[in-house]
Structure 1
């Protein structure tokens, strides 16, 4: 689905070519020639996704991404690294830094559009699932969560708590949100507890879905309890 994209690259020719192709595909594209300019654009208008080069003067892509991930406003923003560095170690570093996709140059423009579309579609689905919509039966969700917690406490076979099979690196704020979701709190309640906006809570819950491979609050709670991911 079309959305607004921030493209950060210090190569004018490639930047213009990528911008033109994305705009031809229906996306609204903001451009920046370096990370500092990219940060200024971020603060002026929140895009739906960021495409960034890695090898840039002064502030490279890794530092730019780290700056985004340390800011609550941009922590869950999808980021694609578009770079000439295609070594496995570089890709691993990119994923560890928190990028969502990594596309080495030269690349097929159609593949870039496919990745962008996939990330935006996934984000839309998760954000919708993360929101407390009027159509949701909140009382039913609370009851399901309470039942899951009760089953764990009583040691029933429906839920078995085991060590997490893999380490999931939650940020401190993600962990706080996860703990409150496990308690059965809804987004508005979590927002009040953490003194943040409901929209930010939705983004955190959406990112928790993504990191745990779950698609609903009850699935997330079950997963967290089964693998001991909550801290309270």
Structure 2
């Protein structure tokens, strides 16, 4: 069955352009033209991905993304943010809110299709771990249940945060470069920069810190990140 994508933008010509190109690739496409309509549709129907414009009437893309990520039924739904704004602060804020990718207008349909394929591929096969359950210190990582708990408290992680943590926690003490994590999780055809990893690491640390004072994810200056070896 082909993947179902929701395209959200208040510019009809942009919506039609994206819809046409996605349908040419075999995707099922539904559309929305404002934030309220977008939220109604993601709650009514099951989607595999949302292409979400930042500047929307009624509720902007940031708020739509935030509500998706705080809804237990929707929190793992992949989101690609789309915006005419290219400022670093917008990109970082989008990633902080849990967007899986960020595409700046003007964009080529070929680039967007590549991003869509990469995000869908990674979301459908985020992990390939031999172990179903990993326990490190206070952290209990359960692949089968797609769940991470600290002291019995479940962390609300996005798919990309879950994927980053999975690589680190499966290999405590091993250092992973930003480039490796970016390629492994986002795919070799991803054209983002390595600061994307820094944003996700920062979010992971913040969420872990809600329940533990232990610093589990360590920075190796000039190299990358590793999960703390616990004795």
TM-score (norm 1): 0.63
Cα distance in 2, alignment partners of residues 32 and 39 from structure 1: 9
Whether 2:75 is the aligned partner of 1:75: answer yes
Alpha carbon RMSD of aligned pairs, Å?
Answer: 3.8
* 2:133 pairs with 1:180: no
**Cα deviation code 1:65-115 (max 9, x no counterpart):** 111111111112111111111122221221122111111111000000000
Cα deviation for residue 227 of structure 1 reads 3.5
Match for residue 65 of structure 2?
Answer: 65
Q: Which residue of structure 1 lines up, in the alignment, with residue 52 of structure 2?
A: 52
Contact map agreement 1:212 1:220 (CA 8 A) in 2: no
Structure in which a larger fraction of residues adopt helix: 1
Instruction: Show structure 1 runs of 4+ deviating over 6 A.
Output: 220-223
Determine the C-alpha separation between the residues in 1 that align with 2:2 and 2:173.
32
Structure 2 unmatched ranges of 5 or more: 176-215, 218-225
Q: RCO higher in 1 or 2 (8 Å CA, sep ≥ 6)?
A: 1
Cα distance in 1 between the residues matched to 2:36 and 2:116 = 23
Q: Which has the larger radius of gyration?
A: 1
Compared with structure 1, are the counterparts of its residues 222 and 62 closer, same or farther at alpha carbon in structure 2 (3 Å cutoff)? same
Alignment of 1:164-179 (within 5 A): 179=139
Q: 1:187 to 1:92 in 2, by over 3 A?
A: same
What is the number of residues matched between the two proteins?
A: 180
Secondary structure, counterpart of 2:38 in structure 1: helix
- Kindly state the Cα deviation for residue 22 of structure 1 after the two structures are TM-superposed: 0.7
Native 8 Å contact 1:209 1:220 kept in 2: no
Q: What residue in structure 1 maps to residue 24 of structure 2?
A: 24
Q: 2:165 aligns with which of 191, 194, 212?
A: 212
Higher relative strand content = 2
Report what 1:7 is aligned to: 7
Deviation at 1:188, TM superposition (A): 5.6
Structure 1 distance, partners of 2:173, 2:123, is 20
Q: Which runs of 5+ in 1 are unaligned?
A: 131-135, 153-177
Q: Deviations over 1:11-42 (max 9, x none)?
A: 11111111111101111111111111111111
